[in-house]
Each structure stands twice: as structure tokens, then as C-alpha cells.
Amino acid sequence: MTSNIVPLIDCSTINGNFDEISAIDLNAVANEIGAAMTGIGMCNLINHGVDMKKIETIYKVSDKFFNLPEEKKLKYRCDVQTKSIHGYGCAGDQKFTEATELKEWWYVAGLDADHECKYPNEEIPEFKLAFDDIRSDLKNLTKIFLRCVEIYLKLEEEFLISKHQNLGLKKHIEMRSLYYYTIKPEDKIPENSIRLGEHQDFGTVTFVMQDLVGGLEVKTSDNKWIEAVPVKDAILVNSGLLLEYWTGGLFHAAPHRVKKLPDMRMNARPRQSFVYFADPDEGTHVYPTLPVLPQKKMEFERFGNRVIESTSFIQGLIDASTIRRY
């Protein structure tokens, strides 16, 4: 049995520069983070040190972009063939289940891919800067989170951090700005449509920043869906499949989805979220470092007790959920 709410964790004692945080303060928060992530598999961090004004700026430039005329947005549509997914995606470009997903997004690839990245500089000159500006805050938080995992699981210091040296550099996705556009009662939308279909994240850890509109749900280990109620200025944390495998299933990669709101009038307002993906450096070998939990043994059989190569594993899952148009 797990709790039916996403735990709230105050990080005010550890929200500075990673290199200056005391071990005692880290230990205390590591215990809270570990308990949450090995339980429901998610937690909400508050006072986390990420400048939320920068997130507001991302919402603002994203809102401008998603409200451009369709032909302008389509100029920046991601090309899933290149393996450097960067740019605009529209309803129908991705789905995790059979249902149509009513959303648009902008993917940001890592800096190494910049030479092939397009940004809507002409329409929104401040767009690229808004995303560039948030990188260092989120890299710092990733290090803090990974150190907490190392402490909680008594892993060798730097075991995880040393495998995340190139955050934001590699070619595939680093960040994603999501826009769940308005749906009016008279709009003809497929009966079984959803905002974002059920899935687990792919890599190590995901940080989700969401506005206060709501709709995000998480599946508990007893298969009940509960709402991840938005908390102002909080960052929702969830483990990806690679971290789950690395930890023998202890850090649960919780399935999640975004539903249409039950009263159609509530969908008359767009929902925005911003997501940061921390994945291992390219070519990292991932294997269970702890005994596999009995309840995860069957699930892990699909990996055949293999060492997983992180980049191709993540790319395979991106390919599987992205609809090729070519």
C-alpha cells in the first residue's frame, strides 16, 4: 500500500550551490526523497532553488509560440528521422496509447545539437534565451537529487553523478514545453481522446513544472489513479525507467497521464507545463546495482538481466511513441 497523495518535501536547507551544501542537511532530505520515490514514486519539491521567474518566462514565450498561426508553427516541426528531436510537435505527432493526444509541444535538444536546431527567432526573439536561462538551475537540482539517491541507497559517492556529466549536451531531448490547448464544448474531439497518454518516463529523473490548471494523474502501486494536484512553485519529481532498473526496482517509475478535465468548461483554459529530463551520459551501461525487488522480477525479464545501453534504450522508446509522417 502506498500513500494516496504525492509527498511534499521542503528543500530549503539544500537549495544552494551543490558544492556548498552540508552533508548533514543532504542526509535529512535524502531520507524524505528516498521514502517518497520508493513509495508512490513521485514527490513535490518546494524551496528547491530553481528560479520560478524563469519558468514563468518559459510559459510566456511558449504561449506566444503556440498561439502563432499554424503555418508559422509548422515551419519548426520536429523531424523525427534525424535522431535530434528538436522543435514543434502538434496533436497526433506522438501517442503513448491508442487514444488521440490533445497537446502541442516544443522539444529542446542538448547544446551539441544546437547547430542543427531551429528556434522561432524571427517571430519571438526572446524564445531561445528563455530555455537557455534555466539550464544551470536544473542541472544543479539534478546533482542534488542524484546525491540524495546515492545517500539513501548507500551507493558509492558519485556513482550516479559521475554518469551524468553531460547534462544538456547530447542530441536528444533535454527539455519540453507542453501546451494543452483549449477545448470548447462545441469542438469535435474523439470520444476517447486524452491530453497525454499513460506512460512511464524513460531516463533517470524528470522534473515537471506545471501551472495550476490540473489534470495530471499518477498510478499508485495498487493500480489506482490519483491526481498530482498542482502545488504553486513546486517541482514534481518522477523516476524514469533507467533509474528504476538501476535501483533494482526500488525507485519506482510511476505511470502517469494527463486527462481532460471532467467539466468541459474547465478545458476552456489552456494548461501549460515544462519538463526537464535528466538522462545518463551517452553510452552509459545501466544494470541493477541492488537486489531486484521480487515484485519487479517479472517486469525486468524483458531486459533479460542485460546491461542496458542508455542512449539506444531512450531512443527506442522515443521512436516507439513518435508517429512518423515520412
Footprint on this chain of Fe ion (rule: CB under 5 A): 201
Least separation in angstroms between residue 162's CB and Fe ion is 26
Q: How far is the CB of 71 from Fe ion (least distance, A)?
A: 29
Query: Do 211 and 271 meet the contact criterion of CB atoms below 8 Å apart?
Result: yes
Rounded Cα gap, residues 309 and 315, in angstroms: 10
Measure CA 39 to chain center.
19
Closest to Fe ion by CB, 93 or 201: 201
Q: How many CA atoms lie within 13 A of 173 on its CB side?
A: 29
Closest separation in Å from C-beta 94 to Fe ion: 11
Q: By the 8 A CB rule, do 258 and 195 touch?
A: yes
- Measured over the CA atoms of residue 123, residue 74, residue 119 and residue 258, the dihedral's sign is positive
Single-letter code of the amino acid located at 41? G
For the CB of residue 101, give the shortest distance to Fe ion in the complex, in Å: 12
Q: Quick check: 269 and 182 in contact, CB under 8 A?
A: yes
Give the residue with the Cβ less far from Fe ion, 144 or 317.
Answer: 317
CA distance 324 to 277: 22
* Interacting residues of 50 by C-beta distance below 8 A, sequence separation 6+: 134, 137, 138, 141, 207, 235
d(CA 137, CA 241): 24
Is residue 36 within 8 Å of residue 258, measured between CB atoms? no
Is the Cβ of residue 201 or residue 279 nearer to Fe ion in the bound state?
Answer: 201
25 CB-near residues (< 8 Å, 6+ apart): 13, 14
CA–CA gap between residue 153 and residue 167 (Å, rounded): 22
- Which DSSP category does 33 fall into? H
Nearer residue to Fe ion within complex by CB, 147 or 252: 252
Cβ-based nearer residue to Fe ion, 48 or 257: 257
Task: Give the shortest CB-64-to-Fe ion separation in angstroms.
Answer: 24
Apex 211 CA angle, 39 and 215, nearest 5:
60
Residue 206 beta carbon to Fe ion: minimum distance, rounded to whole angstroms: 6
Choice between 163 and 195, CB closer to Fe ion? 195
Tell me whether residue 150 or residue 217 sits nearer to Fe ion (CB atom): 217
Mention every residue, 6+ apart, whose C-beta is less than 8 A from residue 317. Answer: 202, 241
Q: How far is the CB of 183 from Fe ion (least distance, A)?
A: 21
Q: Nearer to Fe ion by C-beta: 14 or 253?
A: 253
Nearer to Fe ion, 101 or 201 (CB): 201
Q: Which residue is nearest to Fe ion (CB)?
A: 201
